[in-house]
Amino acid sequence: MKRRMWGCVLGMALSGTALAQTPLKIGFVGEMSGQQAEYGLQMSNGAKLFLQEHGNVVAGRKIELIIKDVGGPNPEVAKRLAQELITRDKVEFLAGFGFTPNALAVAPLSAEAKVPMVVMNAATSSITERSPYVVRTSMTLPQNAHAIADWALKNGVKTVYSLYADYGPGQDANAQFRKTFSGGGGKIVAEVAVPLKNPEFGPYMQRIKDAKPDAAFLWFPSGELSVLMLRAYRERGLEQAGIRALGTGDGTDDMFLDSMGDVALGLITSFHYSAAHDSAKNKAFIKGYESMYGTSIRPNFMAVGGYDGMALIYETIKKLNGKIDGAKAVEAMKGMKWESPRGPIMIDPETRDIVQNIYIRKVERRGNHLYNVEFSHLSDVKDPGKAK
């Protein structure tokens, strides 16, 4: 009887040792090449920074980050890569996902394999509803669109012309702006969806100018399209006509802001993160980022999404003492709170989506650089896209 008891104790000890010696693999699916390579670069940089700061061993498990390049919005490729990570590499977490189509394609696989999937950027509201194993550490477009509509209502804007990119995130942003602004007594004079491929913004801006609204709600993804859109807004004289430009922070991405130049000055946006956020945590984050990657690339919201995604995964590993069960991991994530470079954040226990402050900012020049300077905020914003 004693031999049997000691045999069980020895077996458990050996099992624990084997677990500790087994790397804990995190499969990162990101846009590491092509026109949207900045998405994957910023997210992976943020994730690697967290690893650098907190070490690569958690609860006795050595962390192995396996990065796969999906090359842009390629849902079939994302699905194939995630399947390989699950079946061949035996990852215990999936992470990354800059684009909504990629996240939506992989979500059913996470449910089937019972592997937690941490979305670090893709912002369409419905993503967390596609699998009970999806948890998001970035944002939803409705959070930001709600905040800028709320600010507009409180600051004398009565009529708005909405111009937005015709795909999931743009549709989400427009729908929420309309819901909040109209619900508060504002009037939407027109809603126009613009194809993402090679849009000519000049004629659209002329239509807005002719409609004479108080403001234009302009939503396009960060990068070249936002620059072209803002340039057309300036060139067509909308500002001189008294039509205010409103948007979410996608249009004034910290990474591209300096290159946008004076066309961005004065733009009012709402967003969950700014490199100018005044907190000790953010200053340390930026210092660490610059130490690892230099000062040529400013960390943006995607870097913070990657950083916080790793923070969530690390804390979950600690809670489970290194023994990862998919369902238990997701339960451990629900309700988790911590201080991010963006401010206080929490995982909503009901939706597995992020709860956070949304800041109202204005583009200003500080020295030789442009920044989104925060001057107001809404606290503890849940995803209004899921509000019943």
Average pLDDT, consecutive stretches of 10 residues, N- to C-terminus, the chain (388 residues): 57 50 94 90 97 97 98 96 98 96 97 98 94 97 96 97 90 94 98 88 96 96 83 93 94 90 91 98 98 94 98 98 97 98 98 98 95 97 84
Instruction: Find residue 358's DSSP bridge partners.
Output: 378
Would you state the pLDDT for residue 14? Answer: 45
Q: What is the DSSP string of 42-103?
A: HHHHHHHHHHHHH-SEETTEEEEEEEEE--SS-HHHHHHHHHHHHHTS--SEEEE--SHHHH
Residue 376 sits in the same domain as residue 248? yes
What total of structural domains would you count in the chain?
Answer: 2
Are residues 193 and 92 part of one domain? no
Hey, what amino acid is at 200?
E
Shared domain for 246 and 369, answered yes or no, is yes
The dihedral over CA atoms of 313, 316, 322, 326, expressed in degrees to the nearest 10, equals: -90
Structural domain range at position 302: 2-139+279-352
Do residues 282 and 304 touch, judged by C-beta distance below 8 A? no
92 with 170, same domain: the answer is no
Distance CA 63, CA 24 (A): 5
2: tokens are: 């004693």
Q: Could you tell me if 53 and 20 lie in one domain?
A: yes
Based on the domain organization, do 204 and 305 belong to the same domain?
no
Tell me, yes or no, whether 56 and 122 share the same domain: yes
Amino acid 222: pLDDT: 77
For residues 247 and 378, membership in a common domain is answered with yes
C-beta of residue 302 within 8 angstroms of C-beta of residue 95: no
3-state secondary structure at position 311: helix
Q: How far apart are CA 252 and CA 256, in angstroms?
A: 7
Do 134 and 224 fall within a single domain?
A: no
**347 & 374 share domain:** no
Q: Kindly report the pTM of this predicted structure.
A: 0.91
Q: Residue 57 forms beta bridges with which residues?
A: 62
Q: What is the CATH number of the domain that holds 206?
A: 3.40.50.2300
Q: How far is CA 41 from CA 33, 301, 305, 310, in A?
A: 9, 12, 12, 15
Same domain assignment for residues 126 and 15: yes
Residue 109 shares a structural domain with residue 155: no
CA–CA distance, 178 with 384 (Å, rounded to integer): 12
Structure-token pair, residue 210: 């002719």
CB 289 within 8 A of CB 45: yes
| Paired strand residues for 119 | 96, 136
Instruction: Report whether 193 contacts 170 (CB < 8 A).
Output: yes
* Phi, psi for 353 (deg, rounded to 5): -105, 170
Q: Which 3 state secondary structure label does DSSP give 239? A: coil
What pLDDT does residue 223 have? 74
pLDDT given at position 43: 97
